[in-house]
Structure 1
Amino acid sequence: MKKQQWTGWGPGAPHAEQHYLVEPRYLAGGGDIRHVSEFLRASGWKDKSKPGGPLVFDSPDKSIRVGYDPFTQPGGWTISGKATPGREAWHAAFTRQVPVEIVAGFTDALTLPRSAHAPNVWAPLQEQRWQTEQGQHFTAMSPDGGAWLQFHQSKPGEAHWWAGARNEHGRIWDANFTASTPMHLVQAFSTALADPQQVMRPRGNVPPSTHIRTTSVSVRPDQLSAWQQARVTAARATTWARNSWATTRPRRQAPTNPYTAAGGRARR
């Protein structure tokens, strides 16, 4: 284990608390669910949770629901999208030990405009040297063999996405997406899954595993709060800009049909 001051948050100070930077991120454990929930709240999602019950958020247009239930087995995250014209309903599920940073890769993408580029689920994994294998199921495996993403097709018409991670103690989490899940969301997940950046966990919340590498850092509570607030502020700014554009952009006028203007009737 290495020990250092994390220069990204400045030097240590009195009352600093010990945290750990953990890699690979897919073995870091679940983390603080507010990393996901507060971003959704700041993005204008409606908190439908009941006191003492599971976490529930609805998108502004009520077409997508995100839930987190720690009270059932196996428990964890569920995300469901309603059917829309041209798209089937879809469903995604993450067990509780999926790191929140990887869950957020998926849920953050729900709040952002879709890229004009065609999605490629495998590209982020291949860029990080994950090995791909094409057989009955197309699979990408991390270089250390600790995590994978697979497009699982048992027979025509029956397919789903499946991801997971394992350490020396066995499999520690699973994620599943129906085949109808929008591809750009699965790509957002694969990007977060393969991201080599370390994630932070407080002392006592690092999973016991010889397969992870940790770096000890000293962090003041105000520094940690500022980092968390920066993420929320970014979500609010993006939401404000999107809503502002939607309400202030000039409306296009329908082109005038010369025949209609002359009193004739336009043919349909």
Structure 2
Amino acid sequence: MKRQKWATWSPETPEQHYFVRPRHLAGGGNLAYITEHLRASGWKDHASRAGTPIVFDSPDHSVRLGYDPSTTPPGWTISGKATPDQPAWHATLSSRIPVEIVAGVTHALTQPRRAHAPNVWAPLREQNWRTDNRDGHHTATSPDGTATIRFHQEEPGTAIWWATAHTEHGKQWEAVFSHHTPMHLVAAFTTALADPEPLLRPRDHVPATQKIHTTSVSALPSQITARLRERITSARATTWAHARTPQPAAPRPHPQPAHTSR
């Protein structure tokens, strides 16, 4: 008689995680939070492998996103090509910026741009960031003083958006958006930056600083992965719906009246 093999059932073991606030000091996080969402949104993945640079192109090839772990420091780059309606632009973001904040920008890149111009400073003021305007340089500082974003312009055409965060150990990250970066992307960054919701991090990935407040929680691995799956499923549904939406046909040229000679 053959011995039948039975699959053993092994229950999940809860793992200790922490909610970290303020979110801008929570550390980088899982890169898949960005890459899997872009892939599900129809962006072209240039065969990224673990430990190698990540490169994605938007479906219309107008924007390229990269993450290079070999640079010092490693970080994100986002570049937009010049179009008839938009000059070329560029943004760089350090690797220690939480992926949830970077995702504010990348998510905006996968959505249609709204017609109205957004207010970049509004999300910050709503969360009690202190604002200041000196010598034409507009600045907003987080309530705890550990993060700053500034609109800096030395002369016309040279303006940049610059953001940074620091702890008692010094600067933790910085982000720079070039002069022609679309305002809806900068506004998406400030919205994600000012969001008061804490970020979840594994026990071994909580930054060592006295500038953060943590709340310990017990979470199952399936609960953690479900958060990412839900985000990916939503992106796929949006991409599928957009693909099925009929695009407006190009206007047909009006026939010109024939000229007759008399």
Amino acid at match of 1:92: A
Identity of aligned residues (%): 57
Q: Classify 1:96/1:253 alpha carbon distance in 2 versus 1 (closer, same or farther; 3 Å).
A: closer
Residue 158 of structure 1, CA deviation: 1.8
3-state DSSP of counterpart to 1:93: strand
CA contact (8 A) 2:52 2:69 kept: no
Q: Distance in 2 between matches of 1:203 and 1:92?
A: 31
Q: SS of the residue aligned with 1:94?
A: strand
The whole-number CA distance in structure 2 between the counterparts of 1:111 and 1:95 is 21
Query: In the aligned structure 1, how far is the partner of 2:196 from the partner of 2:242?
Result: 30
Q: Deviation of residue 170 (structure 1)?
A: 1.2
Tell me by how many angstroms 1:86 deviates.
2.8
Indicate the residue corresponding to 2:22 in structure 1. Answer: 24
Q: TM-score, normalised by structure 2?
A: 0.89
Q: What whole-Å deviation, never above 9, does each CA across 1:213-258 have from its counterpart, x for those lacking one? A: 111111111111111100000111111111111xx3574875978x
Call closer, same or farther: CA 1:133–1:200 in 2, change over 3 Å: same
Q: How does 1:190-209 map to 2 (within 5 A)?
A: 190-209=190-209
State how far apart, in whole Å, the 1-side matches of 2:76 and 2:16 are. 28
Amino acid at match of 1:42: A
Whether 2:122 is the aligned partner of 1:160: answer no
- Which letter does structure 1 place at the counterpart of 2:174? D
* Residue identity matched to 1:151: F
Consecutive unaligned residues in structure 1, runs of 5 or more: 1-12
Q: Which AA in structure 2 matches 1:22?
A: V
RMSD: 1.8
Runs of 4+ in structure 1 off by over 4 angstroms are 249-257
Give the structure 2 partner of residue 37 of structure 1: 35
Please, what TM-score do these two structures have when normalized by structure 1? Answer: 0.87
Stretches of structure 2 that go unaligned for 5 or more consecutive residues are 1-10
Q: 8 Å contact 1:32–1:100 — kept in the other structure?
A: yes
- Aligned counterparts of 1:80 and 1:100: Cα–Cα separation in 2: 18
Is 1:25–1:198's contact at 8 Å kept on the other side of the alignment? Answer: yes
Correspondence list, 1:61-210, <5 A: 61-136=60-135, 137-210=137-210
Corresponding pairs, count: 247
Question: What residue is the counterpart of 1:8 in the other structure?
Answer: none
What amino acid does structure 2 have at the position aligned with 1:71?
Answer: S
